[in-house]
Amino acid sequence: MLIEDLDAPRKQRHTARRILARLIDEHGAADLSYSTVRDYVRVRRAAVEIAAGRRVEAFVPQEHVPGYEAEVDFGEVWVVLAGVKTKCHLFAFRLCFSGRAVHRIYPTQAQEAFLEGHIAAFHTIGGIPTGQIKYDNLTAAVQSVLYGQGRARVENDRWVLFRSHYGFDSFYCQPGIMGAHEKGGIEGDVGRFRRTWLSPMPVVDSLAELNEKVIAWDQVDEDRRIGSRIRTVKADYALDRDALAALPVDDFDPGLPLTPRVDRSSLITVRMAKYSVPSRFI
């Protein structure tokens, strides 16, 4: 149907909804959902048009301002932990200008690990990007993607509080392969770090022990050069560091979510300001 559209008038080409209707009527695909067809058509139409020479696929080299932008992602890693082969999750944070990266390994990629990874990164680099941080549509940050509304997302309430506390904006990449191009720096960094430092599988007694090694490996990586760059990561990071925003006086508590506390005498609901919740990732 999409190939036939190449020769059809622009206003009479198939929409995803029309394709779904034809699949149901002509092929009995009654159990097929609209979202499945929509997501497929978005990717496949572009491929068909590129193959026919109707669309040129081009990538524009990105230029980054010191201290302005960063990228975050998770990647799976396997570790021999206390004698047991265990799947863990590598949190990766990368400054776009210098390529300075911060990594931590957690047992899950749940929101607490997501927030703890950010806090560790902010303290390691000595500040906060003044602009935006790029993400996939991670469930730790995004509740739902609003299709047909550009970059609009419904964000997790606690994540919004976290961003407001540290004062940075979030940028959510497109789903699929197009999103990978939008944050290729961190995509490549996760693979590089895993191949360089986590192959073969590290053998440790605890994640605390492993993360001490990870911190040391990140420091060694500062002396490398990325691609054809003249300066080292450390040299460019000096420019990044001077342009970062200052850390807040108090850190955000990455533990339990904020919950209302009711004053029974006045029946006024107030927010609990502080928790003494120990981290699960010691």
- pLDDT per residue as tens digits for the range 206-260: 999 999 999 999 999 999 998 888 899 999 999 999 999 999 999 998 874 444 4
Phi/psi of residue 20, nearest 5 degrees: -60, -45
Whether 142 and 39 map to the same domain: the answer is no
Domain containing 168 equals 69-243
Based on the domain organization, do 165 and 198 belong to the same domain? Answer: yes
Q: How confident is the model at residue 148 (pLDDT cuts 50, 70, 90)?
A: very low
pTM (2 d.p.): 0.67
Beta bridge partners of 203: 80
Domain count, the chain: 2
pLDDT of res. 62: 60
Check whether residue 115 and residue 212 sit in a common domain.
yes
77 plus 206 within the same structural domain: yes
Judgement on whether residues 163 and 25 belong to the same structural domain of the protein: no
**61 domain-assigned:** no
Average pLDDT score, the chain: 81
Residues 174 and 86 in one domain: yes
Q: How far apart are CA 72 and CA 95, in angstroms?
A: 9
Compare 201 and 266 and report the one with higher pLDDT. Answer: 201
Does residue 59 fall inside a structural domain?
Answer: no
Identify the pLDDT of residue 211. 96
For the chain, helix (H) and strand (E) counts, in that order, are: 8, 10
Asked if 129 and 163 sit in the same domain, the reply is: yes
